[in-house]
A and B are shown apart, each in its own frame.
Chain A
Amino acid sequence: MPRPPEPEDLRARGRWPPPPGRRVAIVGSRRPSPYGEAVAERLAADLAATGVIVVSGLALGVDAAAHEGALAAGGCTIAVLGTGVDIVYPRANADLAARILAAGGALVSQFPDGTPPQRANFPRRNWAIAALSDVVVVVEAAEGSGALITAEAALALDREVMAVPGSVFSPLSVGCHQLLRDGAGLVQNARDVLAALGAQQEVLDDPLKPPASLGLEAPAGGRDGLLQHLSDALMTEPGTLARKLGLPLPEIMSRLTALEMAGAVGRRGAGYVRLAPGGISRAGVG
């Protein structure tokens, strides 16, 4: 078991040590479904709005969505890097890193300045994320995903591990479901996480209330019936839609393109998924 770094061992840019307050790590797949990305962003925003500091790894996908969500709520967020603190990797997140610093957050690293991205360093970085957090929430992790290393580290370090459930058909939810089966806390919304932090007792009086703060508004594209048959995590093939709706395939294809142009659906593999409105659009394609 690697020795987790103490905060004073870390090289940092930005405000360090961080302001006092509870810290929650939100980690997950670098290529999440639109569902996973939307959950990470909303969860981070809701937690940040209550003053929680969101910790993540500045990777693509769930990590970036978590940082974005925290920033959108005007919160403070910490990015734990697997490179030297003077190197932003991946480059696609350079702008995000700058905004984290501008918002009073920090980039930190246990590696010397100038350390380039190296495969072996990322698991160690995941230990640091766990060490810096009170709770680790895993949002979408395929089997063998790096986010599961963070969860393992959290257990070893006696941190609370929580996970967001997904579709039983989705490979991206396999890791989360394993965690839940093994006793991780269930996260349906920010209140579940706040409860685990032992804070904000007053919000817990109605635990069965629908998780409003995670609810997605009706996607753009109006009341197109096609959308009811599309999932936000699992792709549906045009042929399946044609069969379910009893419509000719050419019509389904043209309606899907219209929805795609309106930003309401995106392509995934051989099918389409529903996109969250106003969400960050990286999940739109691919």
Chain B
Amino acid sequence: MATSVRSVLLRGLDVLPVDVEVDIATGQPGFFMVGLAGGSVREARERVRSAVRNSALPWPPQRARMTVNLAPAEARKDSGGLDLAIAVAICLDQAGAAAPPEAAFLGELSLDGAVRHVDGVLVAARGLARRGVRRLFVPAGDAAEAALVADLEVVACRTLQEVTGHLLEGLPMPSFTGGVADVAEAVAVDDLAEVHGQAAARRALEIAAAGGHHLLMTGPPGSGKTMLARCLPGILPPLTRDEAIDLAQVGSVLGELEPGRPLSARRPFRAPHHTISMAGLVGGGSGLARPGEVSRAHHGILFLDELAEFDPGSLQALRQPLEEGRVSITRSGGSVTYPARFMLVGATNPCPCGWEGDPVKACRCTPAAVDAYQRALSGPLLDRIDLQVRVSRAPLEALSEEPTGEGSSVVRERVAAARGRQLQRQGHLNAALTRAELRRLTGIRPEARRALERWSSARGLTARGFQRAWRVARTVADLQASDEIFEAHVLEALGYRVADAAAA
């Protein structure tokens, strides 16, 4: 009679439940593992054997033939996380005990029998809870992560001996009932109160934050583009609990969650360097793809400084996440999908030398070089960026003279109110308004619509560009708590459409 214990494999943010069956029979002696076991699972034999023996637990006799079957057989398994389930199955079989109902086991074993951390416990716990598992045994260090999931009893395992003692003799173990963890408060580091001047860029940030619009800032070196971008998390509302859990799943897969404090309300701000590989940016790696920067920036900001320096193929690969809010990657181990709904904030020089348009320093580039530089940015990416602003280098005297303006907390309140209006009206932010929704929901006044059309025909906008300008105008109106889009809202919005102006 074979003993069967449940465990799990990760498939991106999805799970594949695995049944570990142990069968001990007479015949050719040995310890066999069947069911497409990958390298790390084949190594499990050694870890499990040592862990069981070093825990002073009974191991099948030398002459026995032991077969561990991993089902479903067709799925390739390459994870140390099955160790605990394999060892528990063997021990239960030796004791002639049945597997506990509705329970699953996840954890890697060290040779001395300690239960070690595995990545992705939160994802595993969510997936298993959805499939009816009610008790989940996980490494003690990962218990807080698993406990984020509601309706799940999480048992924190330190050693294999402790687990078998609990299962076979009813000894107590620490356990948590899920869904209670606190969300760590967001602490903004960079505050708009520290930004001098740059009134138009500040306003563009506010509009971008309010409507969830992607933003491109163009300006010479030292114009504070990075500082402005870093202020964005502080003017966005903190993550909701659901958003924080979504994001924590990505951190869980990567094994990057803070132990004991897995949830944070802080909006992620990711600023990869332009030398990053495509795999690093959108996800990848061998076997099953791991999440990239786009997923680490989920519900937050992806800041790409020196946008023109990024590999064009990588920028091209941003199209799917920009359009769908998620990214699918196929590797040898299979295809996985990770969430990637972020605000893209790009920064770039206006020309190769950086000084085009500067009031003081002269640009040394030929007009053709400036054109080519700006054209390299256009195309698929620029077409998806609702807001584009120019920022200037603040002259030295302005640093003391120019007022610093409002702090982030004041702006954040307006942003939160504008977002509230959007969610109430259409259930999502303005950046995601479809053409039909624009017509049906946005209440544009006739003169405002005419202004949009005049601009659109003068600049030769595509239908797509027309809708982008319309969405931004909708957000400007929402910031003023206006149900209708007035002409002034449209005209202001067009002021942050530098790419349209350049197209004229």
- Any chain A CB within 8 A of the CB of B390? yes
Smallest Cβ distance from B160 to chain A, in angstroms? 64
Smallest Cβ distance from B495 to chain A, in angstroms? 4
Partner of A269, one of B199, B356, B367: B356
Q: Give complex CA distance A285, B370 in Å.
A: 13
Partner of A249, one of B203, B490, B501: B203
Q: Give complex CA distance A269, B495 in Å.
A: 13
Q: Are A257 and B492 neighbours in the complex by a CB distance under 8 Å?
A: yes
Smallest Cβ distance from A125 to chain B, in angstroms? 16
Q: Give complex CA distance A234, B357 in Å.
A: 10
Q: What is the count of residue pairs linking A and B with beta-carbon distances less than 8 angstroms? A: 101
In the complex, per-residue mask of B426-460: 1 if CB is within 8 Å of any chain A CB, else 0: 00000000000000000000000001001100100
Partner of B362, one of A172, A253, A268: A172
Q: Are B360 and A171 neighbours in the complex by a CB distance under 8 Å?
A: yes
Counting contact residues on chain A (CB < 8 A from B), the size range is: 35 or more
Smallest Cβ distance from A274 to chain B, in angstroms? 15
Known: A30-B367, A271-B359. A286 touches B502 (CB 8 A): yes
- Any chain A CB within 8 A of the CB of B488? yes
Q: Are B367 and A60 neighbours in the complex by a CB distance under 8 Å?
A: yes
Q: Are B358 and A267 neighbours in the complex by a CB distance under 8 Å?
A: no
User: Given the complex, which residues of A lie within 8 Å of B234, measured CB to CB?
Assistant: none
- Any chain B CB within 8 A of the CB of A54? no
Q: Are B359 and A234 neighbours in the complex by a CB distance under 8 Å?
A: yes
Chain A CB within 10 A, most for which of B200, B219, B363, B402: B200
Known: A254-B492, A255-B491, A261-B455. A237 touches B199 (CB 8 A): yes
Q: Are B392 and A269 neighbours in the complex by a CB distance under 8 Å?
A: yes
Which residues of A in the span 31-80 have a Cβ within 8 Å of any Cβ on B?
31, 60
Known: A171-B360, A235-B359, A250-B203. A270 touches B391 (CB 8 A): yes
Q: Are A254 and B357 neighbours in the complex by a CB distance under 8 Å?
A: no
Q: Are A235 and B491 neighbours in the complex by a CB distance under 8 Å?
A: no
- Any chain A CB within 8 A of the CB of B3? no
- Residue in A closest to B498 when the chains form the complex, CB atoms: A267
Smallest Cβ distance from B235 to chain A, in angstroms? 16
Q: Are A257 and B361 neighbours in the complex by a CB distance under 8 Å?
A: no
Q: Are A31 and B198 neighbours in the complex by a CB distance under 8 Å?
A: no
Seen from chain A, the residues whose Cβ lies within 8 Å of a Cβ on chain B are 30-31, 60, 90, 142-143, 169-172, 174, 234-235, 237-239, 242-243, 249-251, 253-258, 260-261, 267-271, 284-286
Q: What are 6 residue pairs bridging A and B, where the CB atoms are less than 8 Å apart in the complex? A: A30-B367, A237-B392, A243-B403, A253-B200, A254-B495, A257-B491
Given A171-B362, A285-B502, 20 new contacts (CB under 8 A): A31-B367, A169-B359, A170-B359, A172-B362, A174-B362, A238-B495, A239-B200, A239-B402, A243-B199, A251-B488, A253-B492, A254-B490, A254-B491, A267-B498, A269-B356, A269-B357, A269-B359, A269-B390, A270-B201, A270-B357
